[in-house]
Copies of this chain bind each other. A is one copy, B any other.
Amino acid sequence: MNLLTKADILSARQRIAPHVNHTPVLTSETLDREWNSQLFFKCENFQKAGAFKSRGAVNAVFSLSKEEIKKGVATHSSGNHAQALARAAQLRQIPAYIVMPENAPKVKVEAVKGYGGLITFCKPTLAAREETLNKIVKLTGATVIHPYDNIKVIQGQATTVAELIETVPDLDLILCPVGGGGLLSGTALSALYFSPGTQVIACEPKGADDAYRSFYSGKWIPSENPKTIADGLLTSLGKITYPIIREKVSAIVTVEEKEIIEAMRFLFERMKIVVEPSAAVTLAAVFSKKVNVDRKKVGFILSGGNVDLNHLPFNE
């Protein structure tokens, strides 16, 4: 039995449509010629709050019951989920309690504040983050919205590829980044329901390859001291996302840091779009020949565009 049905994903599309962007799909003549293929880039860097995370956050917040909604939502995150959840809560005019490590980048803190998020700072450890979050939940009764291991979040992320498949049917492959697996498990389910002939291949930085190791060993192995510039992909697969990925994803490939940087530079320089390193792992998998796209029709999920412009990795 699948946790999410085709109808669930269709209803999420309707639920979130007024509050998120139907993002464009871009192509590159240069890439298509060079790789003898047809490549389609789903630009979630143009999504509200700069990343696909807005889809899951809006879906989760707009799925809350009347009782739940009164007490607001909470999460711990220093990344795109924090911004997306604060924005979704603002749309429903409810509080969003965001626990952030005290060393979180100023630009991220400002973005969460900009969406009206109520920030509580804590020590930069997972234990401190969880403890602080638990304390807030006890005080407020807020509903915790996990960044990826939450069925409503996965349902929202699944709309990304449902949209892509509608715009570009008959894809041979979809390349998707993997961190905690919310986007990837949603992608795998949408491919299954809306384009059953399409294979999903996950792309992961070698420095944070827990999904790769979990997938090929057949047992869940969390990250230990992951290290990569793709800061959206540091997390480990979750209890809900891992089984979906193990069953529905065709393969996982890993890429090196320099390959991520090269792909990111190409996306800026030739395609004229601002993407974060986590988004570039997909194209990096092609540049490094980890995935063969010859004569294939391939979709890429460019997951987000929230990057520190003062420290672009190809300039460091």
A2 within 8 A of B: no
Contacts of A43 in B (CB 8 A): 272
User: Are B305 and A272 within 8 A (Cβ)?
Assistant: yes
A315 within 8 A of B: yes
- Would you list 27 pairs from A and B whose C-beta atoms are within 8 A, ordered by A residue? A24-B24, A26-B46, A29-B48, A43-B272, A45-B272, A46-B271, A46-B272, A50-B272, A265-B309, A268-B274, A268-B309, A269-B274, A269-B309, A272-B273, A272-B274, A272-B275, A272-B305, A273-B273, A273-B274, A274-B274, A309-B312, A309-B314, A309-B315, A310-B314, A310-B315, A312-B312, A315-B315
Beyond contacts A24-B24, A26-B46, A315-B315: 13 other A-B pairs, Cβ-Cβ < 8 A, are: A43-B272, A46-B271, A46-B272, A50-B272, A268-B274, A268-B309, A269-B274, A272-B273, A272-B275, A272-B305, A309-B312, A310-B314, A310-B315
Contacts of A50 in B (CB 8 A): 272
- Scoring A residues 291 to 316 as 1 if CB is less than 8 Å from chain B, else 0, what string do you get? 00000000000000100011010110
Interface of A is mostly: helix
Looking at the assembled complex, report how far the CB atom of A121 sits from the nearest CB atom of chain B, in whole angstroms: 24
Looking at the assembled complex, report how far the CB atom of A136 sits from the nearest CB atom of chain B, in whole angstroms: 28
- Scoring A residues 233 to 271 as 1 if CB is less than 8 Å from chain B, else 0, what string do you get? 000000000000000000000000000000001001101
Contacts of A273 in B (CB 8 A): 272-274
Looking at the assembled complex, report how far the CB atom of A111 sits from the nearest CB atom of chain B, in whole angstroms: 10
Q: Which A positions have Cβ atoms within 8 angstroms of B?
A: 24, 26, 29, 43, 45-46, 48, 50, 265, 268-269, 271-275, 305, 309-310, 312, 314-315
Contacts of A305 in B (CB 8 A): 272
Looking at the assembled complex, report how far the CB atom of A32 sits from the nearest CB atom of chain B, in whole angstroms: 13
CA separation between A272 and B272, bound complex, in Å?
Answer: 9
CA separation between A197 and B24, bound complex, in Å?
Answer: 30
Between A48, A274, A305, A314, the greatest number of chain B beta carbons within 10 A of the residue's beta carbon is seen for: A274
Looking at the assembled complex, report how far the CB atom of A203 sits from the nearest CB atom of chain B, in whole angstroms: 20
Contacts of A271 in B (CB 8 A): 46
Contacts of A274 in B (CB 8 A): 268-269, 272-274
CA separation between A315 and B268, bound complex, in Å?
Answer: 16
Which residue of the partner chain B has the closest CB to A274?
A: B272
Contacts of A275 in B (CB 8 A): 272
Between A271, A272, A275, the greatest number of chain B beta carbons within 10 A of the residue's beta carbon is seen for: A272
Contacts of A272 in B (CB 8 A): 43, 45-46, 50, 273-275, 305
CA separation between A181 and B47, bound complex, in Å?
Answer: 35
Which residue of the partner chain B has the closest CB to A45?
A: B272
Contacts of A314 in B (CB 8 A): 309-310
Looking at the assembled complex, report how far the CB atom of A102 sits from the nearest CB atom of chain B, in whole angstroms: 24
CA separation between A309 and B277, bound complex, in Å?
Answer: 15
